[in-house]
Amino acid sequence: MVREKTGGGRLTVETYTIIVLLLAATIRVATPLVLAALAGMFSERSGVVALGLEGMILGAAFASAAVAAVTGSAWLGLGAGIATAVALALLLGFATVTHRGNQVVAAMAVNIMVAGLGPTLGMAWFNLGGQTPQLDQPAQRFLGLMGPWAATAREHPLPGLLYAELLSGHNLIVYLAAVLVPLSAWVLYRTRFGLRLRAVGENPLAVDTAGISVNALRYQAVVICGALCGVAGTYLSTAASAGFTRDMTAGKGYLALAALIFGKWKPFPTLGACLLFAFTDALASRLQGVALPIVGVIPVQFILALPYVLTVLLLAGFVGKATAPAAIGVPYSKEN
């Protein structure tokens, strides 16, 4: 963004390329955030706090990498990732919906459990210090898909590079995430399920008196949440990198939750928030080791902390008026 102003409108090809690459990196970083934030949206709109995103994504990342490594199929990995995250979601649902446990405590328990369980199982199965084996076969990973003529288009910088780097060249999950945003909006605002989902997060008693099962709705929401987290986790370990490493989510689940709140629990604003967070992240990576005027080289730690600092600032300063689903975090029982 800073660079666009240099040269008073005369963009050199070089800065143009940097910007395009920065935006392409933004899209790649944003993908798991978008998936996780949408997952959180379904959960929170139903009234279940989505603090367990982190654990579900991490669990899915481990499961998909492990299965992809053993079977050699990224698709089986994806299936395992989704299955794992959905299983964790059902566990959370059982604790918080069926037994009305405290949602924050249950979610944190899952997060902590998964953080330990992944590396432990990895150690037992692969003996690689808690990681999964390197995924070095193309079939084990979701790799970038080159659009037609992408290679030739690259030679014509202005529209060509945009097409080659921004639109084409991403893996399947990136496009899936892009499609899921409008799809989620459509489900939320245009379908019966969406109406009921929004209602149950606002006033579960109203839903119950309307003759709809509150628990069934919340389970459906939690399962969708798990499935999306499964895709997000798979992306991290089989698309963005080639295998599972300890704590590889690095707080992305919480960041997604922050984006969801910043996006006021609405699909498109949440997408915007995810892109903003991803952009700072991409920018931070690019700024590493780069000497800036006046301040010089910024320490890596500081740059890496940037997205999180931004999160705190945004949440503290700008979303004071965000209204959460009214019934969020409150276990439902008829007696109250």
Partner 1 sequence: MPSPATEPTAPAAPPSALELRGIDKRFGAVHANRAISFSVARGSIHGLIGENGAGKSTLMNIVYGFHRAEAGEILVRGRRVDIHSPQDAIAAGIGMVHQHFMLVESFTVLENVVLGVERGALLAGSLDHARDELAKLTRDYGLDVPLDTVVSELPVGVQQRVEILKALYRGAEILILDEPTAVLTPQEAGALFKMLGRLRAEGKAVILVTHKLREIMAVTDRVTVMRQGAIVGEVATCNTSPRELAEKMVGRAVLLRVEKTPAHPGAPLLAVRDLEVLDRLGVARVKGVSFDLRAGEIVGVAGVSGNGQSELLEALAGIRAPSRGSITLGGHDLVRERLGPDERRELGLAHVPEDRLRMGVVTGFTAEENAILGYHNRAGYQRGPLLNQAAIRAECEKKMIAHDVRPAVPLLRISAFSGGNQQKLVLAREIDCDPRVLLVGQPTRGVDIGAIEFIHKKLVALRDAGKALMIVSVELDEILGLADRILVMNAGEIVGEVARADATEEKLGLMMAGVREASA
Pick one of 99, 182, 190, 247: the residue that binds partner 1 (CB under 8 A): 190
Instruction: Give the rounded distance of the alpha carbon of 130 from its chain centre.
Output: 23
Among 34, 68, 110, 207, binds partner 1 (CB under 8 A): 207
- Measured in whole angstroms, how far is the alpha carbon of residue 225 from the centre of its chain? 11
Enclosing H/E stretch for 52: none
Report the distance separating Cα 182 and Cα 265, nearest Å. 14
Q: Which of 18, 22, 23, 27 is nearest to 171 (CA)?
A: 27
Q: Is 20 exposed, middle or buried (0-12, 13-18, 19+ CB in 10 A)?
A: middle
Q: Are 154 and 160 in contact (CB under 8 A)?
A: yes
Least Å distance, CB 260 to partner 1, is 17
- Min dist CB 231 to partner 1, Å, is 23
Among 102, 202, 287, 314, binds partner 1 (CB under 8 A): 202
Q: Is 160 in the site for partner 1 (CB under 8 A)?
A: no
- Shorter beta-carbon distance to partner 1: residue 149 or 189: 189
Query: Binding residue for partner 1 (CB under 8 A) from 6, 191, 288, 333?
Result: 191
Q: Which of 104, 145, 183, 195 binds partner 1 (CB under 8 A)?
A: 195
Return the amino acid letter for 109: A
Which of the residues 310 through 329 are near partner 1 (CB under 8 A)?
Answer: 321, 326
At 120, list the tokens: 């432990």
Pick one of 124, 289, 316, 334: the residue that binds partner 1 (CB under 8 A): 334
Binding residues for partner 1 restricted to 208-237, rule: CB under 8 A = 208-212
Is the distance from CB of 94 to CB of 231 less than 8 angstroms? no
Instruction: Give the binding site for partner 1 (CB under 8 A).
Output: 189-196, 198-199, 202-203, 205-212, 321, 326, 334
